[in-house]
Amino acid sequence: MSDQPNLTVTGDGAGALLARGAWTVANVELLERLCDDAAREKIGPIDLSHVTALDTVGAWLFEKLVRRNATQSSETRLVGVPDSYAGLLAEVRQLNRREPSGKRNEDSFVNYLARHARDLGADGIAFLHMLGAVSIALLDVLRRPRSFRLTSTVYQLGRVGWQAIPIMALITFLIGAIIAQQGIFHFRKFGAESYVVDMVSILVLREIGVLIVAIMVAGRSGSAYTAELGSMKMREEIDALSTMGLDPVSVLILPRVLALIIALPILAFLGSMAALYGGGLVAWLYGGMSPAIFIARMREAVSITHFEVGILKAPFMALVIGLVAACEGLKVKGSAESLGLQTTSSVVKSIFLVIVLDGVFAVFFASIGM
Amino acid sequence: MPEPGVAIHVQDLIVGFGDRIVLDRVSLDVREGEILGLVGASGGGKSVLLRTLVGLLHKRSGQVEFPAFPEAEAARRGVLFQQGALFSALNARQNIQFPLREAAHLSPSLLDEIANAKLEMVGLAAEDGDKFPAELSGGMTKRVALARALALDPALLFLDEPTSGLDPIAAGEFDALIRTLQRTLGFTVFMITHDLHTLAAVCDRVAALADGRIAAIGPLPAVLASEHPWVKAYFHGTRAEMLHLGS
């Protein structure tokens, strides 16, 4: 093929070379090899008159040959350059002249830890800041109830509460059913099947019902909040609100957080009921315990305290989810990538905090004897 | 048949969405090695024409040909999108290297050298290559996007409002850059622009798109003399007149 590039020694003069063919990016593997081979010898003038095509990559390779030998005081130069390539070669001659200013120094492990500790501290401060801002907005609303954004709150309540009911009920129903099935299967060995009712009802009412619902809400609604606020931040909508003299916290964040605080206890209650229903159904169909007995045993096993312990936690979890979602949303910078990053981090952080909070509450309730 | 020396040949091109015909029998030739500027009303189909030429939109009927280039070379065209369209997950250097990496197996060191060379060609420093698109200013974004469009030394370059969103100084520098690179590398440019300075300083010929058709085409003075009402309104409106007074 005539376009196949090559670089041959012509024999007339010290190290004179003749370049042929297409010196373009398509042939770059071959070209790099040719140049590396040629660079081992002393290079004289390079004749470009038989080059059929030249692009920036080819021009740069010639330029590199010239520069490499310029340091060895041999007479490398380009001769017979066709007019159409002269401009490109002249352009390339001026490029990459400056020494690169050293690679950016790699992160040491200590720096890495320090940076993450700093980030963690900054996150904590941002969270408290947001808590303060939402509290101030709430006090403001209490002082001037007319400034409360009822429409927005009701709309958000519909989104995070009403529309979430089917999926929450389905998942808690399945969790209740699974706990009951596992309980029956294992308790049967001790002949203690009837205690499944105690396990299911206490576990669901105190812990699982609210925890599962809070985690689901963090994944479903917390992420939606972060993405919404983040894209509003990206498109300067939040700045636009501020310039109109409106507080973004009271316009955007307070209605969302309040909606979550109202919705989560309701969802937790409905979820707990669905889980108990699932557990009862499995006890009946798999364990052979009639619903009447299940309900009677449950009445003995649980008191209103168990229910209170569960449902009291819900508004606090909602607050944490809402605040984390708002903080992360406002952290979004210009790019779509950062939006995705903050949404992920919002979900991860709020689930983590919900579980930590649940642990703190467990210690608290145990110490006050609930 | 297109004449020799024609880079892009468009004949009776019709493009529409649903009931709406955006381009109604557009015919246009872009000559090899020239810079053609396309003007037109906002929403008048300029971007539709450009997107049809680069193959992002399908035509209803008509011809779009690249007679001067073999099939493979016509596919290798550079496009500078209005917002730059840099990949946000890659830094500037990786953005420039991306098409090179896909096209051929370059050694890592050569890849870096070529990317740095391209950065310098568009008037940036090699250090700017470490920045991510979110950290770049408007003018730098356009420059990096131009460097990426030029990564494979395309014979055809499409520019969508290259100077929009730039201040007059940056816009002037960008105009000069396009002109210089076009002279050095010899590519053909099809550009959409609203910038009257760009039309005057950079474009060899100007085409005006009005009512879905090419209303006037030719060197700027010839287009200025056109009697088409929209073209007259465009070039002889208050804003345009102010520029004439200034110059």
Establish if A132 touches chain B: CB-CB under 8 angstroms.
Answer: no
* pLDDT band, residue A127 (cuts 50/70/90): very high
A349 and A250 belong to one structural domain? yes
Nearest to B104 among A26, A92, A336 (CB): A26
Q: Which residues of A touch B184 (CB under 8 A)?
A: 87-88, 90-91
**Across A176-201, average pLDDT:** 92
Conformational region of residue A58, where left means phi above 0, alpha means psi within -120 to 50, and beta covers everything else: alpha
Predicted confidence at residue A317, as pLDDT, reads: 96
Whether residue A114 is contained in a domain is answered as no
Rounded to a whole number of angstroms, the distance from the CA of B84 to the nearest CA of chain A is 13
Contact: A95, B120; criterion CB under 8 Å: yes
In sequence order, the 6+-apart residues with CB closer than 8 A to the CB of B87 are B94, B95, B98, B133
Give the HSE-up count for residue A221: Cα atoms under 13 Å, Cβ half-sphere. Answer: 33
Beta pairing, strands A77-79 & B6-17? unpaired
Contact: B114, A56; criterion CB under 8 Å: yes
Residues B156-197 pLDDT 10s:
889 888 888 788 888 888 888 888 888 877 888 899 988 888
Contact: B126, A28; criterion CB under 8 Å: no
Q: Which residues of A touch B150 (CB under 8 A)?
A: 56
Contact: A98, B103; criterion CB under 8 Å: no
Q: Which residues of A touch B118 (CB under 8 A)?
A: 56
| pLDDT exceeds cutoff 50 at A1 | no
Domain boundary among A93, A117, A142: A93
Rounded to a whole number of angstroms, the distance from the CA of A78 to the nearest CA of chain B is 18
Whether residue A324 is contained in a domain is answered as yes
Please give the Cα distance from A330 to A249 (Å, whole number): 10
Q: What is the 3-state secondary structure (H, E, C) of B136-201?
A: CCHHHHHHHHHHHHCCCCCCEEEEECCCCCCCHHHHHHHHHHHHHHHHHHCCEEEEECCCHHHHHH
In A10-144, DSSP assigns E strands to 17-23, 45-54, 77-79
A221 and A316 belong to one structural domain? yes
Percent above pLDDT 70 for chain A: 94
* pLDDT band, residue A155 (cuts 50/70/90): very high
> Counting Cβ atoms within 10 Å, is residue A93 exposed (0-12), middle (13-18) or buried (19+)?
middle
Residues A266-281 pLDDT 10s:
999 999 999 999 999 9
Q: What is the mean pLDDT of chain A?
A: 88
Q: What is the mean pLDDT of chain B?
A: 83
What is the reported pTM?
A: 0.68
- E strand or H helix at A365: helix A336-367
A58 and A154 belong to one structural domain? no
**Across B96-110, average pLDDT:** 84
CATH classification at residue A34: 3.30.750.24
Establish if A57 touches chain B: CB-CB under 8 angstroms.
Answer: yes
Reported ipTM: the value is: 0.74
Q: Please, are residues B56 and B2 in contact by the beta-carbon 8 Å criterion?
A: no
Whether residue A109 is contained in a domain is answered as no
Establish if A88 touches chain B: CB-CB under 8 angstroms.
Answer: yes
A28 and A167 belong to one structural domain? no
Nearest to B104 among A28, A92, A335 (CB): A28
A226 and A79 belong to one structural domain? no
Contact: B89, A337; criterion CB under 8 Å: yes
Rounded to a whole number of angstroms, the distance from the CA of B89 to the nearest CA of chain A is 7
- Which residues on adjacent β-strands are paired with residue B28? B10
A25 and A171 belong to one structural domain? no
Nearest CA in chain A to B99: A25
Q: Which residues of A touch B114 (CB under 8 A)?
A: 56-57, 60
A89 and A161 belong to one structural domain? no
- Please count the other Cβ atoms lying within 10 Å of the Cβ belonging to residue B175: 22
| pLDDT exceeds cutoff 50 at B247 | no
Residues B214-243 pLDDT 10s:
888 888 888 888 888 888 888 877 666 666
The domains located in chain B, with CATH, are: 6-76+156-246 (3.40.50.300), 88-153 (no CATH)
Rounded to a whole number of angstroms, the distance from the CA of B242 to the nearest CA of chain A is 32
**In this complex, how many residue pairs, one in chain A and one in chain B, have their CB atoms less than 8 Å apart?**
79
In sequence order, the 6+-apart residues with CB closer than 8 A to the CB of B180 are none
Comparing A127-141, A232-246, B58-72, B122-136, which segment has the lowest mean pLDDT?
A: B58-72
A241 and A342 belong to one structural domain? yes
Predicted confidence at residue A313, as pLDDT, reads: 95
Establish if A86 touches chain B: CB-CB under 8 angstroms.
Answer: no
Please give the Cα distance from B38 to B205 (Å, whole number): 9
Contact: B106, A28; criterion CB under 8 Å: yes
Domain boundary among A45, A69, A93: A93
Q: Please, are residues A353 and A328 in contact by the beta-carbon 8 Å criterion?
A: no
* Number of domains forming the structure of chain A: 2
Contact: A29, B104; criterion CB under 8 Å: yes
Domain boundary among A76, A93, A110: A93
Rg for chain A, CA atoms, rounded: 35
Nearest CA in chain A to B184: A87
* Length in residues, chain B: 247
Scan residues 10-39 of A and list those with Cβ closer than 8 Å to B: 24-29, 32
Residues B55-97 pLDDT 10s:
888 888 888 888 777 766 656 788 888 888 888 888 888 888 8
Rounded to a whole number of angstroms, the distance from the CA of A41 to the nearest CA of chain B is 20
Whether residue A133 is contained in a domain is answered as no
Whether residue A108 is contained in a domain is answered as no
A322 and A248 belong to one structural domain? yes
Q: Please, are residues B96 and B151 in contact by the beta-carbon 8 Å criterion?
A: yes
A200 and A324 belong to one structural domain? yes
Please give the Cα distance from A126 to A106 (Å, whole number): 29
Whether residue A118 is contained in a domain is answered as no
Domain that holds residue A44: 6-93
Rounded to a whole number of angstroms, the distance from the CA of A319 to the nearest CA of chain B is 32
Contact: A87, B184; criterion CB under 8 Å: yes
Whether residue A207 is contained in a domain is answered as yes
A74 and A159 belong to one structural domain? no
A180 and A268 belong to one structural domain? yes
- Which residues on adjacent β-strands are paired with residue B206? B37, B218
Whether residue A102 is contained in a domain is answered as no
Mutate to test the interface with B, among A27, A36, A56, A99 (most CBs of B within 10 A): A56
